[in-house]
Amino acid sequence: MTSRPDYLPERLARISDVQAAEFVSAGLLEGNDDVPSIALNKVAETLAEDDARLELRRVRDLIDHALRRFRAERPTSADAWLAPRLHEALRLTRREAADKAFWTYMALGVAPDYVVWRHLPEPKAAGSRARVARDKFLGPHYKQSFARLWWAAELFRNGPDYEPAVVACGNQDMLNSALRLDVIDHRPTAQALVRLLERGTVRTGREVNALTPAINAAAATLMYDVVAPDVERDGEALRDWIAGAASALPAPREGLPDGPEEERVPEDAVESLVAHFEELFAAAPVRGRTSEESG
Calculate the alpha carbon distances from 27 to 110, 111, 114, 123, 131 in Å.
Answer: 18, 16, 15, 15, 9
Q: What is the pLDDT of residues 247-265, one digit of tens each?
A: 999 999 999 999 999 999 9
Answer yes or no: are the C-beta atoms of 111 and 66 closer than 8 Å.
no
Q: For residue 295, what pLDDT is reported?
A: 45
Q: Assign 29 a pLDDT band (cuts: 50, 70, 90).
A: very high
Calculate the alpha carbon distances from 52 to 162, 237, 248, 294 in Å.
Answer: 22, 18, 10, 52
Question: Percentage of residues in the chain with pLDDT exceeding 70?
Answer: 96
User: Residue 58's CB: how many other CB atoms inside 10 A?
Assistant: 21
Rounded mean pLDDT, 210-238: 90
Is it the case that residue 197 has pLDDT exceeding 70? yes
Q: What is the mean pLDDT of the chain?
A: 94
Mention every residue, 6+ apart, whose C-beta is less than 8 A from residue 292. Answer: none
Rounded mean pLDDT, 230-258: 94
Q: Assign 220 a pLDDT band (cuts: 50, 70, 90).
A: confident
**pTM of this prediction?**
0.95
What is 232-273 written as a DSSP string?
PP-HHHHHHHHHGGGGPPPPPSSS------PPPPPHHHHHHH
Answer yes or no: are the C-beta atoms of 37 and 109 closer than 8 Å.
yes
Beta strand 13-14 with 45-46 is: antiparallel
pLDDT: is 209 or 81 the higher one? 81
Answer yes or no: are the C-beta atoms of 228 and 269 closer than 8 Å.
yes
Mention every residue, 6+ apart, whose C-beta is less than 8 A from residue 3. Answer: 34, 113
Burial tier of 72 (Cβ tally within 10 Å: 0-12, 13-18, 19+): exposed
Calculate the alpha carbon distances from 174 to 8, 46, 64, 274 in Å.
Answer: 33, 34, 26, 16
Helix axes 187-198, 205-218, angle to 10 degrees: 150
